[in-house]
Every structure is written in C-alpha cells, then in structure tokens.
Structure 1
Amino acid sequence: MNPDRIIEIFRRVLETPRVEANSDFFELGGDSLLATRVLSAIARDFGTELDYEEFVDDPTPEGLTTRLAAVAP
C-alpha cells in the first residue's frame, strides 16, 4: 500500500501542499477536529475505519498507511 492517497487527504484537509509521507499532521498545524475529517476521509476512501488513538500514535501518511495495510481485508 502506498501513502499517496493519504498524503492527498492531508493536503486537502490542511490546505497545504507541504505534506510528505513522513510529515506529522499536528506539526503541520492539524488539530483534533481536522483529524476527525482525515479519519472520515480515510473511512470513505479505503472502507476501513481507524480510531483517533491510532491516528495520534503515528499521525503521518506513512504510519496511517501501515495501519490500514495491517487491517485491510
């Protein structure tokens, strides 16, 4: 699985092009409210829901991609 789709979600939600695979969502200015928007977009795009704690544990596109790959059918 490739982090590009999550990078695009981060860019759209944070309204910045400065997102790379290892970019920390919160260091880029994200907050808990915006994180819920990312989680909703991930659930919609990937068909898999992650919870907020999983997001906080590794708030990078790369980390979230790894988590999605681990739970994907």
Structure 2
Amino acid sequence: MTVDELTLIYAEVLEAPGIAPDEDFFAAGGDSLLATRVLSAVYRAGGGELTFEDFVAHPTPAALSTLLIGRQASPLGVAP
C-alpha cells in the first residue's frame, strides 16, 4: 500500500484536510478507537492485515507503508 493511499485513509479517519507522510497518527489527534478504523480501512483496501501493535510501532503513513510493502515482498507475509 502506498504512502499516498495511507495519507488519504489517515485524513479521512481523522477528518483532517491533509496528513503529511511523516505525521504521527496519535500526535495528529488519533486514539485507539480511530486506529482500529484505520486498520479496517487498510484491510478493506487490500493492504493486508495489521495488528494494533503494528500500528503503534509504525504510526506514520510512511512507516506503515514500508511495513506493508516489506510484508508483501516476504514469502511468508511477515516483514523481515
């Protein structure tokens, strides 16, 4: 999933006009309930399944995109 796709999901969930690729979801006003909405949106968009722990460890669109791309490249679907 691309950074651009993730910034759009973050912006929609946070009801923000725009989110930067390196903007932390929680610093931008997100909470655990909104994070679950992001995880659901990523899954529905074909980005794969993420845990809440994955999201907390990778709270920016850029970091989350890197994680997802790494998982897609791995034969086991797990980031190296």
TM-score range for the pair, normalised by the shorter chain length:
over 0.9
Which has the greater radius of gyration?
Answer: 2
Query: After the TM superposition, which residues 1-73 of structure 1 pair with which residues of structure 2 at under 5 Å, given as runs?
Result: 2-72=2-72
CA distance in 1: counterparts of 2:37 and 2:2, whole angstroms = 20
* Deviations, residues 12-53 of structure 1 (Å, cap 9, x unaligned): 000002311000000000000000000000001024101100
| Overall identity of the aligned pairs, in % | 49
Q: Which has the higher contact order (CA 8 A, sep 6+)?
A: 1
Structure 2: which 5+ residue stretches go unaligned?
A: 74-80
How far off its partner does 1:72 sit?
1.4
Cα distance change on mapping 1:22 and 1:47 into 2, 3 Å? closer
Partner of 2:77: none
**8 Å CA contact retained: 2:8, 2:18:** no
Aligned length: 73
CA RMSD across the alignment:
1.3
Q: Secondary structure at the match of 2:68?
A: helix
Report the TM-score when normalising by structure 1. Answer: 0.93
Report the TM-score when normalising by structure 2. Answer: 0.85
Structure 1: which 5+ residue stretches go unaligned?
A: none
Moved over 6 A (4+): none
